[in-house]
Chain A
């Protein structure tokens, strides 16, 4: 069996890249990684450790143009059984195109490996339920939600071929890229500290950032907080924001409305800090602290520093 994986070879090799390679390896058979971007061959060869048989990096495609990338992947897809993407901004753009081009069923937002009947578990209803989807085509495309499978190192590096295959002129011209310095992308974060309207104003986010820094966590917020402009839109989690599934989600001054819970209840462990013992969030929490965030959060940050120092 032959499987393809697409990864974006820009910047560093992300955890999402290790996840998709591990996933494709576990489907069985050979794994060819197709990459675009500027990344060094030596870095890419380390994907062999996660099960890649070989990596092809196409230096002929320089941007994120999904039309070019889909055309290139399609040119490598004969006799391929599965094509695996991360369900990130590129997976969401390239995989649907490829599905139409190859007439291959797309299973979007997979959260685990296929079941014995061939169906794959996916996230539906914004985290309120799971669905099991089957593709009826000979070829199958799967986009994997970040943090759904643990990357597994099983071997050594693999060969990397540098190729230059141009796929026509790009139709999407990149003018600039804005990246918040050093910030952890929310969907990929293993730990997230999130706060809501209970914080009363944007000036109080310093303690949330300190707590996040103490853990190496990303920061997030509830919808009203992003709507009023206390925090940037990309931090808004929930049914109409980003859906996340970190190992640890700490919710501070968030009531736990159903629309908020929808985007975060895939988290492995949930800690809730709220003054109101009746807040609905406590029903979805593993650990709860009934107390004032302004007192609890500095204490928690201090306790984490103490714990880290003792490690």
Chain B
């Protein structure tokens, strides 16, 4: 079985989010990049579990510049077999997904996994776009994934509940919490990652459908109003008369 795991970089969760160039770009100054948690904790680790139980070849793919090879080596250290980098600066979700589906089309992957979204753009677009590009079925926001021969059984989030579905391979799945547990790479993995194959391929897509015009930070909160713990009637009255939320 051949599994492709899509890996994106994301700023470390403690990063200060600020913008530069007249608020038109994310300020990377002092920002540490990590593997997007959904891609790493759930998609990659579940792929590795499948590899361990039933045998699989796990390739990771990133659309990005050479600066992104650090996070790709981390994914290799956790246990992926090989890596592919499409050498391009990501412009929008359509461009990134098209790069990945163009690559995957000729490679015969049985399963393509993504995180449910990135923690920087929160678009949740890439998985569905790849599925359309590959004309494959798609199961989004899956919290459980089991392989039975050429079939997958999955649990996925629906509004107010969980749906259990079955789909035939090849398929695309976006992964969420519940699917696997985070793994910390060990020394042997880190050493092995240095020599694992990392292929760099040229970009095949020039078109983007969207762009960010500008960014803004949320307005600052005014200072907190403290209420006596023995006077909850006052809190209720403030929520009703002042905040008007109850």
Name A's B-contacting residues (CB within 8 A): 8, 14, 16, 64-67, 70, 87-89, 92-97, 99-101, 103-109, 117, 119, 121, 123-137, 171-180, 183-185, 187-188, 191, 215, 226, 233-234, 236, 239-241, 243, 247-248, 258-259, 262, 265-266, 268-269, 271-272, 282-292, 295-296, 299-300, 302-304, 306-307
Pairwise interchain contact A269-B209, C-beta atoms closer than 8 A: no
A89 & B137 in contact (Cβ 8 Å cutoff): no
Q: List which B136-179 residues lie within 8 A (CB) of chain A.
A: 137-141, 143, 153, 156-168, 171, 177-178
Contacts of A66 in B (CB 8 A): 128, 131, 138, 140
Interface SS, A side: mixed
Interface of B is mostly: mixed
Residues of the A chain whose Cβ atoms lie less than 8 Å from the Cβ of B120: 124-126
B165 contact set on A, CB distance < 8 A: 172-175
- Residues of A with C-beta under 8 A to B236: 300, 303-304, 306-307
A283-B245 in contact given A136-B210, A172-B139 (Cβ < 8 Å)? no
Instruction: Select which of B171, B209, B217, B228 is within 8 A of A135 by beta carbon.
Output: B209
Specify which of A191, A285, A286 lies most central, judged by the most chain B CB atoms within 10 Å of its CB: A286
Q: Is the CB of A289 within 8 A of B227?
A: yes
In the assembled complex, which residues on chain A have CB atoms less than 8 Å from the CB atom of B126?
96
**What number of residue pairs across chains A and B have CB atoms under 8 A from each other?**
278
- Shortest Cβ distance from B85 into chain A, in angstroms? 22
Known: A67-B137, A108-B124, A117-B213. 19 other contacts (CB 8 A): A8-B159, A92-B117, A96-B128, A96-B132, A100-B97, A100-B132, A108-B122, A119-B214, A124-B120, A173-B165, A176-B164, A188-B159, A233-B143, A247-B245, A248-B239, A285-B224, A290-B226, A296-B232, A306-B236
Chain B residues with a Cβ under 8 A of chain A: 11, 13-14, 17, 19, 37-38, 92-94, 97-98, 116-117, 119-129, 131-133, 137-141, 143, 153, 156-168, 171, 177-178, 208-218, 221-222, 224-230, 232-233, 235-240, 243, 245-246
